[in-house]
Chains A and B, each alone.
Chain A
Amino acid sequence: MSQRQVLQVFEQYQKARTQFVQTVADLAARPQNTETLQNSGVMSLLRPLLLDAVPTIQQTAALALGRLANYNDDLAEAVVKGDILPQLVYSLAEQNTQRFYKKAAAFVLRAVAKHSPELAQAVVDCGALDALVISLEEFDPGVKEAAAWAIGYIARHNAQLSQAVVDAGVVPLLVLCIQEPEIALKRVAASALSDIAKHSPELAQTVVDTGAIAHLAQMILNPDAKLKRQVFSALSQIAKHSVDVAEMVVEAEIFPAALVCLKDPDEYVQKNVATLIREISKHTPELSQIIVNVGGVAAVIDYLGDSRGNVRLPGIMMLGYVATHSENLAMAVIVSKGVPQLAICLEEEQEDHIKAATAWAFGQIGRHTPEHAKAVAVANVFPKLLNLYLDTESSEDLQVKAKKALKSILQKCTYLPALEPLLYEAPSNILKHIICQFSKVLPHDSKARRLFVTSGGLKKVQEIKAEPGSAIQEYINAINSCYPEEIVRYYSPGYSETLLERIDNYQPV
C-alpha cells in the first residue's frame, strides 16, 4: 500500500471519531437520550477519547461527558469510578491546554460535584482544587467562570468541603474575579462566595477578611438582576453568622441603596434583599434600630404588600425579629402600618409555614404592653388566630405558634371589644386568659361593666363551668363581685327555672 492510502485510513478514523464525539455531545444535551446513551456504554467509549491526539476531539469528549454527568448522579458516579477525573485535573493544571478544553474540564468537574457531598469529596480528593485555583489565575474570563462555578458547587454541600476550598486559597482569587468587568464572571464569583460563607462563622470571617464586603456592596446598584440576586444572597449568608460581620455589612453603607432594590422587578432580588435585612436585624436591638431609622421597616412593609407567595416569608420574619427586641421597636413597626399589612398576609397566604411565621410575628409585636396588644386587637386578628389554632387541618407548628401568639397577646390586652367575641369560641386554655383580662379591667371601669352586661358577656361567663379553686373560678368570682348580686343571679343559668319554682311555692294572699 502506498503511503497515501495508509494515511487515508487514519484520516477516515479521525473523521469518524470527530463525528461520533460531536453527535454524542449533541445527544447528551437532551435529557431523554441520556438513558439510552448510558445503556450503550458511552462512558467507556468517551474515556479514551479524552486522551485523543486531536484537541477538538478531546474538548468535545469532555463537553459530552460533562453534559452526561450533569443530568443525573449515576452517570456522575460512573465518571468518578471510571478514573476520568485525574486526567481532567491534570489537563486543567497544564499550561499548554487550550482554554476550551479547560472550560470543558471545569464543566465536567462542576457537573460531577453538584449532585452530592460524596461526589464532591471525590472531586476534591483527585486534587481538583489546586487545578481549579490555577485556572482561576488564567486570563480568559470563560475559564475563570467555569472554575469559579465548579468551586461554588463543591463548596455548596457542607462545611468540610467549604473548608477544603478555603484552604486551597480560593477566596482572594474569587474576590479578584468579582472585580472583573464580565457580568457572568461576577455572578458566578458572587454565588461561589455565598456558598462558601454560608456554612459557619469562621468561613464567613475568612470571606470578610479578604475585603469581599466592599466589592459586593459596590455591585448593589448594578442593573443586572441575576447579579444582584447573587450579591444579596452572598451578603445575607455572610451577615447571618454573628453580630460583628453583620455590623461590618451595615458599615459598608448598603442602606438605603438596598431598599431601592426592594422595588426591583425581579422577585428573587426582592426576596434576597429581604433576607439580608432579616439576617441583619436578627442579631441585636442596635442593628434593628439602625434599620428602622433608615426607613427599612416601611420599605419591607411595602414589599410585603407588593409580593405574593413564598417570597413574603423573609419580610414577615424580619418584622417579627425587629419587634422582638424591645417595645420601642415593636411600636415602630406598628407606627409604620405593619399590623394591617400582616393581617392581609395572614388572610391571603395559603401555605402553613407562612401563616405560622405571621402568627409568630403578631405574637412578638403584641406581647409588650397593652398599647401594642390593642394595636394588634384592633386589626381584628384574634378571630383569625383562634381559627388557625382550632383548625384541624393546620400543621402542628402552625397550631403551636398561633396558640403562643394568642396567649402572649391576650396576657397584655385590655381592649375589651376585641376580647368579647373570643369568649364564645375559645377553648378553655385560652378562655382562662380572656377571663383573667376581664377580671383585671372590669373592677375599674363602669362603662365597660355596663357594656359587658348588655353584650351578653356576663351571661356567657356564668355559663362557664369551672372547678372551684381553679384559677378560672377565681377570675369568675372577681368578675361577679363587680356586679350587684341580683344581676349575677339574673344571668346565671337556670334562673328562669328557679323563678318558676318560686311560683309553685307561693301562696296567694
Chain B
Amino acid sequence: NMATLEKLYKQVENIKAIAEENRQKENEAAVRIQSWFRGCQVRAYVSLLHKNATSIQKIWHGLTARALFRQRVKTAYFITKMNFYNKMAVKIQQRWRGYYVRKYVHDYYARKRYLEGLTRKNKHIRRDLEEVAELQWKERERITLEKQEKEKNIQAQRLHFLLSTKQCLGVFNLPFRTEPDETELRLRKVRPLLVRSGPFRPALEVQQQRHRPLEPSLHIITSITALEEQYEGLMHTSTPFEQVAYGTKHFREEHKEYLKGKKPFKTVFTTCHVFDKFGRLYSSAGNIV
C-alpha cells in the first residue's frame, strides 16, 4: 500500500509534474482559445456596429449626394441656358454690328454709289470743259480769220486800181485762168478808198504837231529882268557891276532943271512914202522888228 501509495503519489507527482510542464502550454492554449472566442464575439459586435454605421452613412451619403446632384443639375441647366442666351445674344449682336458698321462706319454700297456718281460727274465736267475749250478755240480762230479778212480787204481797197475792166483784164484775171483769182473777186466786192491826192502827212502826226506843247527855249523862259533879279555882287569888288543905266534906261543925260520952261521937241520931218506900205504887204519880213 505504501508502495502503491508512493507509486500513486509518484504517479500523481509525475502527473503533476507533467501537468506542471504542460500547464504553461495548456494555459496559453486556453488563453488563446478564449481570446479567439472573445475576439469572435467582439468582432461580431464590431461588425454589427460597422454594418449599422455603414447603413447610417449610406443613407447620409445618399442624401448629400442627391442634394449635390440636384445642385449640379441646376447649375448645368443654368449653364446651358446661359450658353443658349449667349449664342442668341451673339447672333443679335452680329446683326447689330453688321448693320451699324454698314450704316455708320463704312457703307460699302454708299461708297459704290459715290464712286459711280463721281465717274458720271467727271464725265460731265470733262465734256463741259471740252465744250468750253472748243468754244474758246473757235472764238480765237474766228477772231484771227476776221483779222485776216480785214487785212485782205484793206489791201484790196488799196489795190483797187488793179481791178480788171472789159477792155483790159487785170493781173488777177489773166486769160489762161479758168476763173478769176480770189483777190480779183475781193477787188470787185470792196469799195475803193477815197484817197485824197497829194503827199499828205499822216493825221496823227499832224495832230501832234498842232497840239504840240510849248517848249520855250531858255532864252524865252528867262525873264527880261533876269540879270537884275539873280545877279549877286562879287564879294571882293567894290563896284556894283550892275547894268549901267545909261544905254538901257536912257541914252543921254537929261538935265531936268534946264528943261523947266521949255517945250518938247517937235518932229519936223514928214514920213516917206516908202514906209506907207510898211506892214501891209504880203511878206511878213518887215514885222520882225
Contact = CB atoms under 8 A, between A and B. Distances in A.
B124 A295 contact: yes
Interface string B101-126: 00000000001001100110111111
A259 B115 contact: no
A163 interface: no
Contacts of A331: 111, 115
B219 A298 contact: no
A296 to B, nearest CB: 8
B132 A336 contact: no
Interface string A276-308: 000000000000000011110111001000000
Nearest to B227: A3
Contacts of A297: 122
A297 B125 CA distance: 10
A329 to B, nearest CB: 10
Given A14-B218, A260-B132, A265-B140, A292 B125 contact: no
Nearest to A14: B218
A295 B119 contact: no
A302 B219 contact: no
Contacts of B136: 263-265
B218 A262 contact: no
Interface in B122-178: 122-126, 129-130, 132-133, 136-137, 140
B129 A302 contact: yes
Contacts of B126: 295, 298-299, 302
Nearest to B139: A223
Nearest to B215: A56
Q: How large is the interface on B (under 10, 10 to 19, 20 to 34, 35 or more residues)?
A: 20 to 34
Contact of A11 (B118, B125, B217): B217
A328 interface: yes
A298 B114 CA distance: 15
A256 interface: yes
Contacts of B123: 298
B222 interface: yes
A336 B132 CA distance: 20
Contacts of A14: 217-218
Given A299-B125, A302-B129, A335 B218 contact: no
Nearest to A54: B218
Contact of B125 (A265, A295, A332): A295
Interface string B194-228: 00000000000000000000000111001000010
A140 to B, nearest CB: 17
A10 interface: yes
B122 A11 contact: no
Interface string A315-334: 00000000000001001100
B122 A298 contact: yes
Interface string A250-261: 000000100110
A263 B125 contact: no
A499 interface: no
B147 to A, nearest CB: 16
B218 A336 contact: no
Given A3-B227, A298-B122, A262 B115 contact: no
A7 interface: yes
Interface in A1-29: 3-4, 7-8, 10-11, 14
Contact of B133 (A263, A328, A332): A263
Contacts of B140: 265
Contacts of A298: 121-123, 125-126
| Most chain B beta-carbon contacts within 10 A, residue among A11, A292, A298 | A298
A299 B118 contact: no
A13 to B, nearest CB: 9
Contacts of B218: 7, 10-11, 14
A260 B219 contact: no
Contacts of B122: 295, 297-298, 335-336
Given A11-B219, A295-B125, A336-B122, A328 B132 contact: no
A259 B133 contact: no
A508 to B, nearest CB: 67
B118 A260 contact: no
Interface of B: 111, 114-115, 118-119, 121-126, 129-130, 132-133, 136-137, 140, 217-219, 222, 227
7 contacts: A7-B219, A10-B218, A11-B217, A263-B136, A298-B122, A332-B115, A335-B115
Given A298-B121, A331-B115, A336-B122, 16 more contacts: A7-B222, A11-B217, A14-B217, A256-B125, A260-B132, A263-B129, A263-B136, A264-B136, A293-B118, A295-B125, A297-B122, A298-B122, A298-B126, A299-B125, A335-B118, A336-B119
